[in-house]
């Protein structure tokens, strides 16, 4: 089984996106941690771990299918945010962008008749639905809470993001 040649660069680009997302979530977690919003901070530290796991799934899949991945620099990261809503909106925008990238990879796998890659990518299709939903709900909760961010802390404490259930393959 060999990863189709045309998929190698897009897969490398996805590794970059996933590592960028991981580092970006640490930056967002640090923003909340610095503001003593520990539950929000922990939420984003966990999200960072998940994104790292996503990147590693691509790394391992490429190697399993005979393609050597190129480990990239991350894209430029943002460390300053004007408000909690600004930080979470940025996270949601990032998730929507990743969803578009995953959909494009699925389209490419179909065009290339790369069924193994298509099967691998389906996990990410499902994952992105959940991540966009989680981030959308968090943003709405922050907007509803207004100035009382302790309500958001309570919400996050009661609704932790799903555990990174699947081990890295
Ligand atoms: Fe791995 Fe949430 O993108």
pLDDT at position 151: 96
Quick: pLDDT tens for 53-95.
999 999 999 999 999 999 999 889 999 999 999 999 999 999 9
Q: How many whole angstroms from 95 Cα to the centroid of ligand 1?
A: 6
| Average pLDDT over the chain, rounded to an integer | 94
Domain limits, the chain:
5-71+79-158
pLDDT at position 108: 98
How far apart are the C-alpha atoms of 166 and 159, rounded to whole Å? Answer: 19
Q: Is the pLDDT of residue 98 over 70?
A: yes
Does ligand 1 have an atom closer than 6 angstroms to the CB of 51?
yes
pLDDT at position 160: 78
- How large is the average pLDDT for residues 128-139? 97
- What's the token pair of residue 18? 């996933």
For the CA of 50, the nearest atom of ligand 1: 1
pLDDT at position 168: 46
CATH class for the domain made up of 5-71+79-158: mainly alpha
Does ligand 1 have an atom closer than 6 angstroms to the CB of 153?
no
For the CA of 47, the nearest atom of ligand 1: 2
Does ligand 1 have an atom closer than 6 angstroms to the CB of 37?
no
DSSP string, the chain: ----HHHHHHHHHHHHHHHHHHHHHHHHHHHHHHTT-HHHHHHHHHHHHHHHHHHHHHHHHHHHTT----PPPPPP-----SSHHHHHHHHHHHHHHHHHHHHHHHHHHHHTT-HHHHHHHHHHHHHHHHHHHHHHHHHHHHHHHTT-HHHHHHHHHHSPPPP--SPP-
């Amino acid at each position: 089984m060999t990863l189709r040649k045309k998929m190698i660069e897009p897969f490398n680009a996805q590794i970059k996106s996933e590592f960028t997302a991981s580092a970006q979530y640490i930056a967002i977690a640090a923003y909340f941690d610095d503001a003593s919003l520990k539950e929000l901070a922990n939420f984003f530290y966990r999200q960072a771990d998940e994104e790292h796991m996503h990147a590693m799934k691509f790394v391992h899949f490429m190697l399993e299918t005979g393609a050597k991945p190129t480990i990239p620099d991350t894209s430029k990261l943002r460390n300053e945010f004007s408000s909690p809503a600004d930080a979470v909106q940025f996270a949601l925008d990032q998730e929507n962008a990743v969803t578009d990238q995953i959909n494009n990879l699925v389209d490419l796998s179909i065009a290339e008749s790369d069924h193994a890659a298509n099967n691998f990518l389906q996990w990410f299709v499902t994952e992105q639905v959940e991540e966009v939903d989680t981030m959308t709900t968090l943003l709405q909760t922050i907007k509803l809470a207004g100035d009382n961010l302790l309500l958001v802390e309570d919400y996050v404490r009661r609704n932790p993001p799903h555990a990174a259930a699947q081990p890295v393959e």
